[in-house]
Amino acid sequence: MAALNQEKTVELAEKTVDFALKKGADEAEAFVYQGLTTNISIERGQIAKSARIIDHGLGIRVILNKAVGFSYTNILKSGEAVEETVLKAIKSAKASKPDKEWRGLPTKNSFPSVKDTYDNKIFELHPEDLVKAASIMLDAAEKTDKRVFPIEGGVGVSHLSKAIANSNGVQGFDRGTFVECSLATVGREGSEVTPVCFEFNAERKYDINPEWVGREAARLAVSALKAKKIETKSTNVIFTQFALQQLLYYTLINAVKADYVQRNQSALKDKIGEKVASEKVTIYDDGLFKGGLRTWRFDGEGVPQQKTLIIEKGILRNFIYDNYTARREERESTGNASRAGYLSTPNVEATNFHFLPGKQSQEELINNAKEGLLVYYLQGAHSSNPASGEFSVVATPAWVIKNGEIAYAARGVMLAGNIFDVLMNVSALANNERKIGQLVAPWILVENVKVIGK
Amino acid sequence: MKDFLTKVTDLAVQKFGAEYAEIRAQKLFKTMLTVKDGRIEAAKQGIENGVALRVLVNGAWGFASVGTFDIETLTSAISDACRMAKTASLKLKTPIKLVETKTVEDKISVKPKKNPAEISVEDKIDTALAVNNTVRGYDKRVKSCTIDYLDLTGTNYFLNNEGTYIEQDKLYVWSRILATASEANVLTFSREEIGSTAGYEVFDVETPEIVGKRAAKRAVEQLKAKPPRGGNFPAVLGPNVVGVFVHEAFGHLAEADLTLSGSVLLGKLGKKIASDVVTFYDDGTIEGAFGSFKYDDEGVPTQKTLLVKDGIVVGLMHNRETAHKFDAKPTGNARAEDFRFEPIIRMRNTFMEPKDHSFEELLEDIKFGYYLKSFRGGQANLDGTFQVGIQEAYEITNGELGDPVRNASISGNTLETLLKVDAVGKDFELWPGRCGKGQTAFIGDGGPHVRVKEVLIGGSA
């Protein structure tokens, strides 16, 4: 099945809005989503799986007397099914209660242009090309060391498109491509198994290096062998982007969402203009980041995405808003409404959360740390206290830094503390910025982190 | 439906030479609500119809998922899946084979006392608002309350080329309550979950007042809690924490796909890995429990699977592929979230068997330690490193419960920790939960109260 074209999707969205208004909605918004994904997967040392997933659907939000109803369907071919969906949304709104804070859907705005978010080459790829890339990755890992066992991974490409229309005349269409290759490995020697080590490339254009991914995933697994326990103390910790992403996702990123702030769930409430991090820390939420994994022309409710300054040299400058939370404060949305395809109503979410890099190389950063811990991944970050930012997590794998060099792998290490103390204690940043999920960041060096060992 | 689905699998076998072909069709209907501080964010309803096709060609898997029952689309999707499988098989070292299973023809209907599909959205909103009112009304230090509600009803159709055909009704009711409280500079957070495959009658037991109070009370009591000391301490784990420990720290390692990937249980079948008092099950047959179902997504009947008996590993959780590898019987653990996903090995209701100790007996010999009552997330690694976050804990001093403790977590190595389990309680609780392994599964977990000689507590004090 070919992708629904731009004209047809926008037309479907507009017709759905019109129908909702005709049926009595005060306001209406339709969102049409389509995703096509092709994957070749590696499982336990071999390429043995393939998948093609086609998912499309339409979500309709209607407002009646300030009460919001939502309904979705994935049956798009039948006009009847779409109309039924609209009627369900209206029925839901009627069953619901008015929201006195409701101040309307977004109004019409022009959308910015974005760079490097779409690659025509994706359509020219055959499954054979993906098998070839997966095979290069696998060979690179296995060639590195015979103690390495590739447990899972693969190569995948996807094409997403979305169209939106609302009763205020908002109308938009955008499409994007994604390419990813990844490999998870463990190192095995005698009875020792390492924690899972992982490396990947994720890009908007077909610009991946499976050979590097395979080699790196293998190198990590080998160096995670012969891990030792360490003493409990407060020390310097370097967080890689993986660890930082896990930590921030459940703490800081929630704390800057206007929804959390307005509902007294954020430790950053009333702290605009105050120092909340070390002066080395500058963070943007950049919905227009070139080639960013969350870069789109407009957000989940048709508001232009934008670049918002969050923390400037340690000073908290802004929160991120969707239309609803923005209007509650009589300000403009920052284009941070996100939705899970056609299945959900919009929610406040970060786009590309960009932690500006420093000047030091990776090696210089390790050298500067002198003594401490290099933490690759965290386990259990989702059990952090999302309100206060307190966390208590396992660092695995992690490596001990001695005399400014990586000495050996550490096992059974926990980190405990509060994200805002961590941000205050950032003492240096590397220049090795990369994209991981919604984070764009370098490695960061943090002083005085509580490390719990034996 | 049967004849229609057979046409599609026949095509895979006859035209593309597939060794195996299966088709899962779904007609699902969902209602969802999110209530934030008494404001109904949106009342949501949705239809998801779709088909998942899976084939084995030359020993490699091909999978295709489409959100339609349209025969042309299905024909092209299964052709695609077969061609992709053939391509994937180019670099295959060991062809995939499936263990043989008995073919079945069956139709499973659910008979809820209260069918969520027949309950009005208004009623569901009223229930959610009643929870909200209980939480918000509990204490003025409660600052926010978020309630998510989901129900899912519909039918799954399964057919494979071996002659199995199953129509199985699906029913899930789930709700999550999040409460935060604050006083001075302390912010606390509390979570409660409800889940059932029986019906909307779950709210007659877990009433809005009971659940709301549980969530609110914890958030408020945590305000005066102190951070734990970091280090190794004796601990008593509550059923809710034992459940997540059995699920995360042990269960994932005993999912045969992860065992084969090199989890620390590889090569441990028949060996002793835990103290004598430890017996674990994964059970899909408990009526109404959140992780129960009749047939898995490969058409294999569910069962009660013994994993650890008196400290010895006696079983793993299998799908047809891993059962063949281990020369074992399939256990009915293959589950797919919906038609967008292929079935993988998932847990059902995983729990520890109770023994003979009372709660007081478990506490009495502990001079200083922690009582870990309720969890907030957990995660395990293949090397056996586990972490379980704790949302409610207390100190134990001289055999007695003491001050509340907040934001603790426990960690360690699963096998080392299981050998340190030295006493098991006689009570039992099973809790609903959701598990992520690239896709979400509804599960249950639980057990009795359990004492562990020592476990690493991550604390900031």
Q: For residue A6, what are the contacts with CB-CB under 8 A and spacing of at least 6?
A: A161, A163, A173, A175
Is pLDDT of B461 > 60? no
Neighbouring CB atoms inside 10 A of A142's CB total 16
Q: For residue A211, what are the contacts with CB-CB under 8 A and spacing of at least 6?
A: A136, A137, A140
What domains can be seen in chain B, in order of their start residue?
2-224 (3.30.2290.10), 231-458 (no CATH)
Can you tell me the distance from the alpha carbon of A392 to that of B188, in angstroms, rounded to the nearest whole number? Answer: 15
State the greatest distance between any 2 C-alpha atoms of chain A, in Å, as a whole number: 73
Is pLDDT of A382 > 90? no
Q: pLDDT-derived band of residue A387, with 50, 70 and 90 as boundaries?
A: confident
Q: For residue B328, what are the contacts with CB-CB under 8 A and spacing of at least 6?
A: B99, B256, B315, B316, B318, B322
Per the model's pLDDT, the better-predicted residue between B233 and A3 turns out to be: B233
- Assign residue B59 a region (left: φ > 0; alpha: ψ between -120 and 50; beta: otherwise): left
Give the distance from residue B387's alpha carbon to the nearest chain A alpha carbon, in angstroms: 6
B376 at the A interface (CB within 8 A)? yes
Whether residue B40 and residue A47 make contact (CB cut-off 8 A), yes or no, is: no
Whether residue A95 and residue B120 make contact (CB cut-off 8 A), yes or no, is: yes
Neighbouring CB atoms inside 10 A of B434's CB total 14
Nearest to B144 among A149, A265, A384 (CB): A265
- Could you give the 3-state DSSP secondary structure of residue B419? helix
Can you tell me the distance from the alpha carbon of B257 to that of A297, in angstroms, rounded to the nearest whole number? Answer: 41
Q: Which of A423, A433, A277 is nearest to A361 (CA)?
A: A433
Please report which helix (H) or strand (E) contains residue B325, including its range.
helix B320-326
Mean pLDDT of B121-128: 96
pLDDT in tens, A148-178: 999 999 999 999 999 999 999 999 999 999 9
pLDDT in tens, A69-126: 999 999 988 888 899 999 999 999 999 999 999 999 999 999 999 999 999 998 889 9
Can you tell me the distance from the alpha carbon of B253 to that of B265, in angstroms, rounded to the nearest whole number? Answer: 6
Can you tell me the distance from the alpha carbon of B78 to that of B71, in angstroms, rounded to the nearest whole number? Answer: 11
Residue B371 CB-density burial (10 A; 0-12 exposed, 13-18 middle, 19+ buried): buried
The two three-digit tokens of residue A80, written as one number: 């009847």
Whether residue B47 and residue A85 make contact (CB cut-off 8 A), yes or no, is: yes
Can you tell me the distance from the alpha carbon of A348 to that of A265, in angstroms, rounded to the nearest whole number? Answer: 14
Give the up-direction half-sphere exposure of residue B255: CA atoms within 13 A in the CB hemisphere.
Answer: 22
Is pLDDT of B232 > 70? yes
What domains can be seen in chain A, in order of their start residue?
6-132+154-181 (3.30.2290.10), 233-452 (no CATH)
Can you tell me the distance from the alpha carbon of A385 to that of B376, in angstroms, rounded to the nearest whole number? Answer: 9
Give the distance from residue A360's alpha carbon to the nearest chain B alpha carbon, in angstroms: 30
- Residue position matching structure tokens 């919906």: B338
B-chain residue closest to A261, CA distance: B144
Is pLDDT of B460 > 80? no
pLDDT in tens, A228-267: 999 999 999 999 999 999 999 999 999 999 999 999 889 9
CB–CB of A245/A440 below 8 Å?
Answer: no
Question: Which pLDDT belongs to residue A5?
Answer: 81
Angstrom CA distances, A191 to A147, A436, B331, stand at: 12, 33, 28
Nearest to B92 among A48, A70, A454 (CB): A48
**CA B78 to centroid of chain Cα atoms:** 30
Can you tell me the distance from the alpha carbon of A16 to that of A61, in angstroms, rounded to the nearest whole number? Answer: 10
**Looking at beta carbons, which residues of chain A come within 8 Å of B230?**
232, 414, 416, 450, 452
B91 at the A interface (CB within 8 A)? yes
Give the distance from residue A92's alpha carbon to the nearest chain B alpha carbon, in angstroms: 5
End-to-end CA distance of chain B: 62
Give me chain B's average pLDDT, please.
Answer: 95
User: Which of A32, A50, A263, A268 is best to mutate for the B interface (most B CBs within 10 A)?
Assistant: A50
Can you tell me the distance from the alpha carbon of B410 to that of A414, in angstroms, rounded to the nearest whole number? Answer: 9
The two three-digit tokens of residue B333, written as one number: 């653990």
pLDDT in tens, A303-361: 999 999 999 999 999 999 999 999 999 999 999 999 989 999 999 999 999 999 999 99
Neighbouring CB atoms inside 10 A of B400's CB total 12
Angle, CA A354 vertex, CA A352 and CA A358 arms, to 5°: 155
Mean pLDDT of B202-218: 97
**Looking at beta carbons, which residues of chain B come within 8 Å of A418?**
460
Whether residue B39 and residue A99 make contact (CB cut-off 8 A), yes or no, is: yes
DSSP A3-26: PPPHHHHHHHHHHHHHHHHHTT-S
pLDDT in tens, B410-457: 999 999 999 999 999 999 999 999 999 999 999 999 999 999 999 999
CB–CB of A268/A255 below 8 Å?
Answer: yes
Give the ipTM: 0.91
Mean pLDDT of A206-229: 96
Question: Which pLDDT belongs to residue A190?
Answer: 87
Whether residue B232 and residue A454 make contact (CB cut-off 8 A), yes or no, is: yes
Whether residue B46 and residue A71 make contact (CB cut-off 8 A), yes or no, is: yes
Angstrom CA distances, B328 to A318, A441, B269, B350, stand at: 58, 47, 12, 20
Mean pLDDT of A439-447: 98
Question: Which pLDDT belongs to residue A3?
Answer: 56
Q: For chain A, what is the radius of gyration of the CA atoms?
A: 24
Question: Which pLDDT belongs to residue A385?
Answer: 83
Nearest to A53 among B65, B231, B257 (CB): B65
Residue B113 CB-density burial (10 A; 0-12 exposed, 13-18 middle, 19+ buried): exposed
Question: Which pLDDT belongs to residue A4?
Answer: 66
Neighbouring CB atoms inside 10 A of B181's CB total 27
Can you tell me the distance from the alpha carbon of A23 to that of A14, in angstroms, rounded to the nearest whole number? Answer: 14
Give the distance from residue A304's alpha carbon to the nearest chain B alpha carbon, in angstroms: 23
E strands, A197-340, in order? 197-203, 233-239, 283-286, 307-312, 315-316, 337-338
Please report which helix (H) or strand (E) contains residue B173, including its range.
strand B165-183
Angstrom CA distances, A108 to A8, A12, A86, A305, A329, stand at: 21, 18, 22, 13, 20
Is pLDDT of B141 > 60? yes
Can you tell me the distance from the alpha carbon of A292 to that of A374, in angstroms, rounded to the nearest whole number? Answer: 26
Give me chain A's average pLDDT, please.
Answer: 95
Neighbouring CB atoms inside 10 A of A3's CB total 17
Can you tell me the distance from the alpha carbon of B44 to that of A363, in angstroms, rounded to the nearest whole number? Answer: 51
E strands, B273-367, in order? 280-283, 304-309, 312-313, 334-335, 344-345, 349-352
Give the up-direction half-sphere exposure of residue A110: CA atoms within 13 A in the CB hemisphere.
Answer: 2
- Residue position matching structure tokens 């969902």: B30
CB–CB of A368/A428 below 8 Å?
Answer: yes
Is pLDDT of A1 > 50? no
What is the share, in percent, of chain B residues with pLDDT greater than 90? 92
**Looking at beta carbons, which residues of chain B come within 8 Å of A250?**
none
Whether residue A193 and residue B263 make contact (CB cut-off 8 A), yes or no, is: yes
Q: pLDDT-derived band of residue B272, with 50, 70 and 90 as boundaries?
A: very high
Q: pLDDT-derived band of residue B292, with 50, 70 and 90 as boundaries?
A: very high
Q: pLDDT-derived band of residue A454, with 50, 70 and 90 as boundaries?
A: confident
Question: Which pLDDT belongs to residue B75?
Answer: 94
The two three-digit tokens of residue B246, written as one number: 């059995």
User: Which of A394, A396, A448, A450 is best to mutate for the B interface (most B CBs within 10 A)?
Assistant: A394
Mean pLDDT of A23-46: 96
Residue length of chain A: 454
**Looking at beta carbons, which residues of chain A come within 8 Å of B182?**
264, 387
Residue B105 CB-density burial (10 A; 0-12 exposed, 13-18 middle, 19+ buried): exposed
CB–CB of A427/A446 below 8 Å?
Answer: yes
Can you tell me the distance from the alpha carbon of B347 to that of B446, in angstroms, rounded to the nearest whole number? Answer: 13
Give the distance from residue A165's alpha carbon to the nearest chain B alpha carbon, in angstroms: 18
Can you tell me the distance from the alpha carbon of A290 to that of A263, in angstroms, rounded to the nearest whole number? Answer: 33
Can you tell me the distance from the alpha carbon of A246 to that of A436, in angstroms, rounded to the nearest whole number? Answer: 10
